[in-house]
Structure 1
Amino acid sequence: MPATIHGMNPVIRSYESTDLDALLDVWMSASRLAHPFLSPEFLAQERENIPAIYLPNAETWVYELDHTVVGFIALLGNEVGAIFVNPTHQKRGIGRQLMDHAVSVRGDLELEVFVDNPTGRGFYQHYGFVSLEQKLHEPSGHPVLRLRFDTASTV
């Protein structure tokens, strides 16, 4: 169970279809902050892809504060397909709690982060992810780092 944040009652629970609008709002506000280099056209296409392609194929968990979704993590097996926290709720441990939850259900994890996203890269480095390779993210044309979190190396 997540730690209480300023008297609020946080819950990490499975995504439900009624969470879609809130999840998209979290994604868009966090994406604009973390990915200012992505084109509006790319973001618009991703906004369509989230409910049509990504969510049906992912195990998604939302972080809820007082019945409001403020963050989420989507897993494709051991791949973190997405982790986003509403910017007004960042730096409060929500991302860490979501990642801890993912580790508890999946163990070792891998993900990709844009090279030009220093906030995301810093979060993953602080959490214990290590870089495997850098490559081009074909859909956006921007470089990404492939990272891995190994539970055996953090014991």
Structure 2
Amino acid sequence: MSELRLRATFGAAEYPDLVRIWRGAIDATHDFLADADRDEIESHLASDYFPAVTLTVAELDGSPVGFAGTLDGALEMLFVDAAHRGNGVGSALLEEAITNQAVTRVDVNEQNPAAAGFYEHHGFEVIGRSELDDAGRPYPLLHLRLRA
């Protein structure tokens, strides 16, 4: 079996691979997301969202299979290629973010109970809720914090 490797992103040249991973992950896990909202978010990934965070890429055999983005102690994004879900990629990215990037907070869509369960399994607890997402769309967010 191949060994999972975590590394910093190669920069903007790698963004198309990360967008592809994001899209596959979203299609597999975010069935509540309206097509127009999904497309709008996707259009901002490479131009706005990726440059704003510290990106860590998970790769197998030299190919990216997941990524995480952090900013100021918050996990802003964590997505795993749909074909590699459940194989420890997300756990490895989260562990890296907690251990080496001091992540203690994450927001998760309330309509994605598998993601909420993933974070709770890894020591996070719900500390609040917002009716709308950060862009004002009708997707409630759960605010989680790493237990002390």
Partner of 2:140: 143
Distance in 2 (CA, whole Å) between partners of 1:68 and 1:81 is 22
Equivalent AA in structure 1 for residue 63 of structure 2:
T
Partner of 1:25: 20
Q: Does 1:11 align with 2:9?
A: no
> 1:111: how far off?
1.1
Partner of 2:41: 46
Distance in 1 (CA, whole Å) between partners of 2:71 and 2:110 is 21
1:84-95 residue pairs with structure 2 within 5 A? 84-95=79-90
**SS of residue in 2 equivalent to 1:113:** strand
The correspondence for 1:111, drawn from 103, 106, 120, is 106
Q: What TM-score does the superposition give when structure 1 sets the normalisation length?
A: 0.88
Distance in 1 (CA, whole Å) between partners of 2:5 and 2:101 is 19
Q: What is the alpha-carbon root mean square deviation over aligned residues?
A: 1.2
**SS of residue in 2 equivalent to 1:142:** coil
Partner of 2:69: 74
**Contact between 1:110 and 1:147, CA under 8 Å: does it hold in 2?**
yes
Distance in 1 (CA, whole Å) between partners of 2:124 and 2:65 is 23
Distance in 2 (CA, whole Å) between partners of 1:38 and 1:140 is 10
Equivalent AA in structure 1 for residue 146 of structure 2:
F
Distance in 1 (CA, whole Å) between partners of 2:14 and 2:109 is 26
Distance in 2 (CA, whole Å) between partners of 1:63 and 1:112 is 21
Distance in 2 (CA, whole Å) between partners of 1:41 and 1:78 is 30
Equivalent AA in structure 2 for residue 14 of structure 1:
A
**SS of residue in 2 equivalent to 1:61:** strand
| Percent identity (aligned) | 26
Q: Which runs of 5+ in 2 are unaligned?
A: none
Partner of 2:59: 64
> 1:33: how far off?
1.7
Greater than 2 Å deviation, 4+ residue runs: none
Distance in 1 (CA, whole Å) between partners of 2:114 and 2:14 is 25
**Contact between 1:80 and 1:110, CA under 8 Å: does it hold in 2?**
yes
